[in-house]
Structure 1
Amino acid sequence: MKMRFSLLFSFVIVVGLCSYKFSEAREPVCSKFAYEEQLLEKMIRTEIKVETMVNEIKKTEDKVISTLGDIKQTVADFTDMFADMKGNITNEMLNRGDEIKRREETFKTSFEETRKNLTSDIEAEKEKLFQLQGKLEQPPIAFYAHHLKDLLPDTTDKILIFEKTFTNEGTGYDTSTGIFTAPVGGLYQFDVHTCAYPKKHTYLGLVMEWKLIAADANYGDESYGCNTFGAIVRVKPGEKVWVKSTSSGSARQLY
Structure 2
Amino acid sequence: MDTQKSLCLLLNVIVASCARGPSSPICLKYDYEERLLERVLRNGLALETTLSEIVKANSKVVDTRKQIEDGKAKVESTLAIMKKKQIDMESRLSDYINNALNNMNSTLAANVGTMAKAVLDMKAN
TM-score range, shorter chain: 0.5 to 0.7
- Counterpart residue type for residue 122 of structure 2: L
Instruction: Please report the TM-score for the alignment, with normalisation by the length of structure 1.
Output: 0.36
Structure 1 or 2: more strand by fraction: 1
- Are 1:39 and 2:26 matched, yes or no? yes
Instruction: Please report the TM-score for the alignment, with normalisation by the length of structure 2.
Output: 0.68
Spell out, residue by residue over 1:66-98, the C-alpha distance to the aligned partner (whole angstroms, 9 max, x if none).
Answer: 122122222222322222222222222222211
Name which of 107, 110, 113 aligns with 1:121.
107
Is the deviation greater in 91-100 or in 122-131?
Answer: 91-100
Tell me the equivalent position of 1:111.
97
Spell out, residue by residue over 1:111-167, the C-alpha distance to the aligned partner (whole angstroms, 9 max, x if none).
Answer: 11111111111111111111111211114xxxxxxxxxxxxxxxxxxxxxxxxxxxx
SS of aligned partner of 1:108 = helix
Name which of 84, 87, 90 aligns with 1:101.
87
Tell me the equivalent position of 2:72.
86
Point out where structure 1 has 5 or more consecutive residues left out of the alignment. 1-26, 28-34, 140-255
- Counterpart residue type for residue 103 of structure 1: M
Tell me the equivalent position of 1:199.
none
Map 1:1-255 onto structure 2 (within 5 A).
39=26, 43=30, 48-139=34-125
Structure 1 or 2: more helix by fraction: 2
Alpha-carbon separation, structure 1, partners of 2:114 and 2:41: 107
Where has structure 1 moved over 6 Å in runs of 4 or more?
none
Larger radius of gyration: 1
* C-alpha displacement of 1:41: 9.1
Alpha-carbon separation, structure 1, partners of 2:38 and 2:56: 27
* C-alpha displacement of 1:52: 3.0
- Counterpart residue type for residue 91 of structure 1: S
Higher relative contact order (CA 8 A, sep 6+): 1
Tell me the equivalent position of 1:4.
none
